[in-house]
Each structure stands twice: as structure tokens, then as C-alpha cells.
A and B are shown apart, each in its own frame.
Chain A
Amino acid sequence: MSLKDKAALTGVGETAYVKGTPKTGPELQFEASLKAIADAGLTPRDIDGIIPIGITGNTAEEFIMNFGIDDLRLSAIIPHGGASGVASLQTAAAAIATGVCKHVLIAFGRNVTSGARAGQRIHTMPQFHLVTEFEYPLGAISPAQLYAPMARRHMELYGTTSLQFGEVAVTCRQHALLNDNAVMKKPMTIEDHQNSRMITDPFRLMDCSLENDGGVAFVVSAAERAPDMKQHPVYLSGVAVGHPDSPSSITQRPDMTRIGIAKAAARAFAMAGVTHADIDVAEIYDCFTYIVICQLEDMGFCAKGEGGAFIEGGRLRLGGELPVNTHGGLLSQGHLWGLNHVVELVRQLRGEAGRAQVKNATTGLVTGYGDQGDGSIAIMRRG
């Protein structure tokens, strides 16, 4: 049995993405959830599975109480940081394919601008305990400092450049300018990128994603119900999750330039029965510019080491061969743990992506990347 086309994305919802709001994370998560459920043409009581993402929102029990759900059949926690949103699609599809659930809600919400920043947060998480014990006291505080050596090694081995990182950042910014719900509203040039201050070499400020507040949610429904629902159906054709070697320590990872999606991508493509050439649009997790390049390689769009050259010449820009992060990504739309990437792919495949619409987009992919390299990938098709 395969999960191919067993589930469909039937509803999506987003709050405003902002820096600073009186609304709490749980409030933003509920707001986005109600929008996604309404978008699907459902009522909150129709939800029979819930996967809350992250630790800044509500528990499944809060959803039961606030939505008046009388028979929730599945709740799950997927603790893979930024890989969780896309990874949860696999869990939802499995629950649907086996008849456990009909409509699974996946939802995220947080208010970070009034709380601790990312650098301090990871040291409360069990999956970072080795970093916290052995590296934090030396001054390895933030995810940026953990991923920077991956990027530096890639540069030294393959000649990848900061200008190539800049192309990823500028691409995302160009796309964000087409999106009314993007945090960043000003144009960025490659010179702006090169002149932005060094955070932790080789990452400059403009290689780093945003910190902002917001909520985002989507509904995954049984495929056989999708044609009769409110929106044009978008089917989940392939989905997979992969963990890197040495998942809790990048320092100890045998190949520092290879992450979890390298194991997942082939499974997802095989399940969907499509090739790389079939991908019309790709929403790729972009906590840092280099991570986009690394994933393109690990997914097989090009060979290891060729990612820097691959993204040159506007290939990732709208109108290019492989438009990426058409909403602006974590780098310029907003950091919503990549659930905003899922929403954008659904909109692209419905033909509802506005000024960033990729013409005749029928097949696309979305990725997640989290903690220290957990990976997830979903391939979707327009019904």
C-alpha cells in the first residue's frame, strides 16, 4: 500500500504575518485554523484528527474544547522543528489511508517577537541536548552557528560563494514583494546582501530568515471526498521524511553537507511517480540561504557540490526553470516553520497565487528542514 493520492489538501488559512501583535501564539493558531476549516467548507466539528505543530500553540485537548469536537480520533506530535509541518502530512495521510480519519487539521501559531529569540530557545529542547552540554558553553548558541560550518565546508570543498547565497536571498525578496502578506516590503539587491553585516561567517544578516508572529493551518482530507468539497482539489502524491546521520550533532555528522531530505526525496518522487522535470514550482525550506542550495542537491536536482552554479542565472526566480519560494519564503515572507510553504504550494496548484502565480502549475513540491537536519518532502498535484 502506498500513500499516493490517498489524501488531498482541502483548506488553507493564514493570519497576518507581522512583527509584533497583542495576539498570543495559541490565539494565532486558532485564528488560522478557523480560516483553513472555512476555506475547506467544513465546520470545526468536522475535524477528526489534529497535529499541532511546535510548542508555542494549543494542545489537541484545547482544540477539542474550543472547537466542540466530540470524537477526535487522532492527535500526534511531530517534533522535527521546521521539518514538522511537511512531515505531518505523512502522518495525516497514513491516518486517512487506513480509515482512522477523514479531515486532519495541521496548525501552527506563535508570538516570538515578545518572547525569547531562537538562539536561546533551542537549549530547552531535548533534541539539542548534546549541543547544549558540549557546545553551548563554548559559545555555540544559535542554529545559525550550528549550520554555518555546514555551509563553510560546502564552500571550501566545492567553491560555493556568498554571491550564490545572495541569489537565493534576492529571489525570495523579489517574490515577497508580490505578496501582500509578507513581512519584508522593500526590494533587495545583491549588493544589499553583500553589504549586510556578518552574523556568523559565512552567514550575513540577509542569509538568515525572519523572526515574526503569525498563525498558519491546513486541512488534509480523504481524497475521495475532495472532489465534492469547496476548493479545487490538490492531491498529495508523494510524501516522505528522512533523518540525517548523527541527527543530534552536526559536529559528529560523517558528511556535514548531506541532510535528512537526501534519504526522503527519492522515496517521495518514486511514490508520486514523477521526475524532477515534472516539478513546476518548489517551496523549499529556507531558514538560511545555504540550506536551499543543499536541499536542491540532496533532492537530486543537481549533483552534490553543483548547487551553487545550479541556482545562478535566475533559475529559481519566477519565469525561471524552477521557481522557488514564490511567496517569499522564511527569508522574506515570514518564518512560520515552513507551514507557509505548504499553503503557498496549495495556492499555486489551485491557481490562486495572485501576482506570483506560476503559469499552468500542475505539479509542485514543498520541503521542510528542522532541528539539526531532519528533512521532509511532499509532492502535490492539481486534481
Chain B
Amino acid sequence: MDTTKPAKPVPHPTPLSAPYWDGARQGKLMLQRCAACGKTRHYPQMLCSACYSTQVKWIEASQRGTIHSWTITHHAFHPAFADELPYTLVTVDLEEGVRALGRYNSTQLLKLGLPVRLRFENDAHGTPGLIVEPEV
């Protein structure tokens, strides 16, 4: 690893979110599903807002969805991302009814509702990040 390059921010998993990151390292997008009432929620949180249960069953998402919105970043807000500009952050409506944020990896023009697939890719620090590409 190039030690002269500024370090990227890394996630600090909590007991609540650890299963998400464990899944991500295996390429799986894991979501919390309430074990009491079945409601899917994301990002991870303590209670089910429908029934207040703390009991969770983690499910593996299909990693398919559609584009909800996006931004194309041209400004280096953080030096560790300067050599990646411009990059596109996309908000994706997942089939499971929650959303995910990822990096768009395509030259295909973005539009609302564009069908996409998501996969994890490790960055230079080994942090898994979501890559989003149009369905082919």
C-alpha cells in the first residue's frame, strides 16, 4: 500500500452493525429483518419501529434494485478521494423495500428507475464498498 497517500475513512462497526460488515466482506448485502413481525429495516437500528422488538434475523438481499437519485462529485472534499474525481454516488431502491448508497461504475446515463445490480468491492484498505452497475 502507498503510505504517502492520505488514508480513506474506514467504518467502525458496532455490535448492531457487525453482521452487515461481516456479510459485506463475503460479498453479501445483509439487512435486518424483525424476527417478531417481519419488517425489513436499514441502516441497522436497535428496535423495530413497527413492533419495538429487538429480535432480528439477518437476511441476504437480492442485490438488485433501481436508481432513486444520485450526485456526481467533482470537488475533493477529502484528499483521499482526490484521484477518483469525478465519482458518482447513487441511491438505490432495493427490492427489499429499503435503500443503499453505492458508487456507480458505468458510463450509461443515469435516470430514475434505472434497474441496477449491486456488488461489494474492497478498497485499498480492504473496506468493502458497494459498486452499482446497470442490469445488462
Interface residues of A (CB under 8 A from B): 119-120, 123, 130, 132-142, 144-145, 148-150, 152-153, 156-157, 197-203, 249, 251-252, 256
Sample of 16 further A-B pairs with CB below 8 A, known A130-B43, A137-B9, A149-B70 = A123-B9, A134-B101, A137-B11, A137-B123, A139-B84, A141-B78, A153-B68, A157-B112, A197-B74, A197-B75, A198-B75, A199-B75, A200-B71, A249-B43, A251-B91, A251-B99
Q: With an 8 A cutoff between CB atoms, is B58 at the interface?
A: no
Cβ–Cβ < 8 Å partners of B101 in chain A: 134-135, 138, 140, 251
* From B8, B74, B127, contact of A200 by CB (8 A): B74
**Do A145 and B43 contact each other (CB < 8 Å), given the known contacts A139-B89, A252-B99?**
no
9 A-B residue pairings within 8 Å (CB atoms): A135-B89, A138-B102, A141-B77, A141-B81, A145-B89, A150-B69, A201-B73, A201-B74, A251-B101
In angstroms, Cα B89 to Cα A149, docked, is: 9
In angstroms, Cα B8 to Cα A141, docked, is: 11
> Is A156 in contact with B12, judged by CB distance below 8 angstroms?
no
**CB proximity of B103 to chain A, nearest CB, Å:** 6
| Dominant SS among interface residues on chain A | helix
**CB proximity of A91 to chain B, nearest CB, Å:** 27
Q: With an 8 A cutoff between CB atoms, is B19 at the interface?
A: no
**Do A137 and B77 contact each other (CB < 8 Å), given the known contacts A201-B72, A251-B91?**
no
Q: Which 4 A-B pairs have the closest CB atoms?
A: A148-B71, A149-B69, A141-B77, A201-B72
> Is A120 in contact with B78, judged by CB distance below 8 angstroms?
yes
**CB proximity of B17 to chain A, nearest CB, Å:** 6
Cβ–Cβ < 8 Å partners of B11 in chain A: 133-134, 136-137
**CB proximity of A119 to chain B, nearest CB, Å:** 4
Cβ–Cβ < 8 Å partners of B100 in chain A: 251
For chain B, the count of residues having a C-beta within 8 Å of the partner chain is 37
**CB proximity of A330 to chain B, nearest CB, Å:** 18
**CB proximity of B124 to chain A, nearest CB, Å:** 12
Cβ–Cβ < 8 Å partners of A199 in chain B: 73-75
> Is A252 in contact with B98, judged by CB distance below 8 angstroms?
yes
Q: Restricting to B19-61, which residues have a CB under 8 Å from any CB of A? A: 42-43
> Is B69 in contact with A140, judged by CB distance below 8 angstroms?
no
> Is A137 in contact with B10, judged by CB distance below 8 angstroms?
yes
**CB proximity of A325 to chain B, nearest CB, Å:** 24
Residue picked from A150, A153, A157, most chain B C-beta under 10 Å: A153
> Is A149 in contact with B91, judged by CB distance below 8 angstroms?
yes
In angstroms, Cα B125 to Cα A55, docked, is: 32
